[in-house]
Amino acid sequence: MSTMSMKVMKAVLALGVTAAAAAPIVRLPGASAAEVTGTVVSSTPAPAGSAAAPAVKALPKVEVIATGGTIAGQSADATSFANYRAGTLLIADMVAELPDKEKIAQVSTYQFGNSGSSAYSIADLYDLSLRVDQALKTQDAVVVTSGTDTMEEIAYFLDLTVRSSKPVVVTGSMRPWTVIGSDAQANLYNAIKLAASGKTKYFGTVLMLNDEFHAAREVTKSNAYRTDTFVTPELGALGYIDEAGVRIYRAPSRALLGAADWNTPFDLSKIAKPNLAKVEIAYSYQDAGAGAIAAFVANGADGIVTAGTGAGGISRAMGAERTAAIKDHDTIFVSTTRTGSGSSYSGGENIIAGDNLNAAHARLMLLLSLSFSEDFDTIKGWFETYGSAQVSVPEK
């Protein structure tokens, strides 16, 4: 076993996780047993003559920041599962309807917006990320509600940019709030429960629906209608929520780093919104033409992600246009696969291998990288560290 592998093993064991599988409860760096388990100390008075009763631990403070989506949808009637207006209800009213929330957290709300997820621009996500960090200065955790169409992109943008290591949980629903059998209420309640538990501190942003939660970097929407739509290909969920039990069965490698080395380079407070880069996605298929790449370059794209066949291959015409874009415009490309799982290791001059990032996630990683640097080697290094599931455990 290499020296680096031994270091990773020791770091994992320090978190209470074996090399074969994570233990049901993961102890994170700097967290007490009470913080990890979400224990509330009993307030029952001690009998006369006995030791004083321990002080009551205040419930964690969780702010729910709402952006709209199906979860805030008003259905045409109580049985209209698909006929509804997304982004209609206010989060304050929705949270007020949740039963027993006072047993798990002190919950506050903030209405950031009320639209479908795909209506938000990257500039809007810039504002959302800063708002999450602002909330975490006084709150113990944040829940962000969102539409599910681009939820994985919103979650990954937050994962890469939020500076606080406190829990951030993104949730939504596949059915509107007002329809029978809606998953909206359960998802919102469980997201608050997960955030309040503190168990995903240092995990980055996680996405929670259907009683399970996933790492934002790896999760994707896999079905247009089903409530179990969000999956993490090959790797699986991080854990599950069953009644009072919040169980973690694997941890992102990022969780091993601890506070000192946790942040990415993408501190949005250091740049203005006009400095956000423009990155597009070109999809390859049988005999795909060169037009998409040519048009993106002509329209001012700073970088382009290719969603290639197999391990990242693109058509002959796309390949020739990519070469021209690199030569004439110094455009940076990231190679990914369109297959839905697996990795792309195809790199080269001005071409970065996207590892197992899907095209939508790789676009956000490249967009943020280009927003903070124009140097290819720097950006490539960021992809190999912050954009990869693998991290180097720092020397102690």
Q: What share of the chain is helix, strand, coil (3-state, %, to 5)?
A: 35, 20, 50
Q: Which residue in 67, 70, 161, 178 is the catalytic one? A: 70
Sheet with strand 351-353: strands edge to edge: 279-283, 303-308, 332-337, 351-353
The dihedral sign for the CA sequence 285, 289, 294, 299: negative
Give CA 56 to chain center in angstroms: 33
138 assigned to active site? no
Torsional class of 56: left (φ above 0), alpha (ψ -120 to 50), beta (otherwise): beta
Neighbours of 247 (CB within 10 A): 16
CA–CA separation, 196 and 106 (whole Å): 9
Residue type, 27: R
Element containing residue 142 per DSSP (H, E): strand 141-145
CA–CA separation, 377 and 245 (whole Å): 45
Are the C-beta atoms of residues 371 and 283 closer than 8 Å to each other?
Answer: no
Alpha helices, DSSP H, located in 276-358:
291-298, 316-329
User: Which residues, 6 or more positions from 330, have their beta carbon under 8 angstroms from its beta carbon?
Assistant: 350
The catalytic residue positions are: 70
